[in-house]
């Protein structure tokens, strides 16, 4: 199954154009985004998962700025491909959250397979916005919680690390429709 979706930020600025490809062996999110949250940026992102939606590879490159290429064994051990070194600060993270796109919220929702009204706290590898980068361009660990409100349709996302909560409506592929106060789906 392959689908393409587009989002803009909540105020109608920027554009995120994302392809979501999934088959019996893996899933891929591949997108380009321009935005202006906390400053203007352009980026390309790529996320590969295994069949269980465990993140395996992540690439993010900001136009005219830093780039990142990391991989994980699916058991919470991460490796910086560019520097060829482990990333012990991400030990235990099974998912990635790329701050410039709502696309990556799909992955833990699909991986967790929560029953209605069930919730689970997770730690993710959070990829910062360009203005949030200090030092090497690497993800940092972040606590999140997902709660299934309506099976396969509505989930509550809690960014515990930033004290933010949003109810996310999903399309039939499990991709976010609107992410209140942050992103909205564009249809054209």
CA 75 – CA 85 distance, rounded (Å)? 17
Q: What is the pLDDT of residue 37?
A: 85
Q: pTM of the predicted model, to two decimals?
A: 0.96
pLDDT digits (tens, 9 = 90+) for 13-69: 899 999 999 999 999 999 999 998 888 999 999 999 999 999 999 999 999 999 999
CA 37 – CA 99 distance, rounded (Å)? 10
* pLDDT band for position 3 (cuts 50, 70, 90): very high
pLDDT digits (tens, 9 = 90+) for 87-97: 999 999 999 99
Averaged pLDDT of the chain: 96
User: What is the Cα 64 distance to its own chain's centre?
Assistant: 22
| Signed CA dihedral, 9, 182, 42, 172: sign only | negative
Q: 157: closest CA among 127, 114, 187, 128?
A: 114
Q: What is the pLDDT of residue 161?
A: 85
pLDDT digits (tens, 9 = 90+) for 106-119: 999 999 999 999 99
Q: What is the pLDDT of residue 185?
A: 97
Q: What is the pLDDT of residue 148?
A: 99
* pLDDT band for position 129 (cuts 50, 70, 90): very high
* pLDDT band for position 145 (cuts 50, 70, 90): very high
């Amino acid at each position: 199954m392959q689908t393409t979706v587009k989002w803009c930020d909540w105020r109608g600025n920027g554009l995120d154009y994302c392809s979501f490809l999934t088959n019996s062996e893996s899933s891929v999110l591949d997108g380009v985004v321009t935005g202006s949250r906390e400053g203007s940026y352009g980026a390309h992102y790529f996320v590969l998962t295994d069949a269980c939606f465990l993140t395996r590879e992540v690439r993010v490159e900001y136009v005219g700025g830093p780039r990142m290429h990391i991989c994980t064994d699916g058991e919470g051990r991460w490796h910086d491909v560019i520097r060829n070194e482990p990333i012990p600060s991400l030990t235990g993270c099974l998912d990635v959250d790329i701050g410039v796109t709502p696309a990556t919220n799909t992955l833990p929702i699909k991986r967790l397979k929560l029953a209605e009204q069930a919730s689970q706290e997770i730690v993710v590898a959070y990829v910062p916005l360009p203005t949030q980068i200090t030092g090497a361009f690497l993800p940092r660990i972040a606590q999140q919680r997902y709660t299934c409100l309506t099976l396969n349709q509505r989930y509550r996302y809690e960014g515990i690390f930033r004290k933010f909560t949003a109810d996310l409506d999903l399309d039939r592929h499990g991709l976010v429709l609107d992410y209140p106060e942050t992103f909205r789906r564009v249809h054209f």
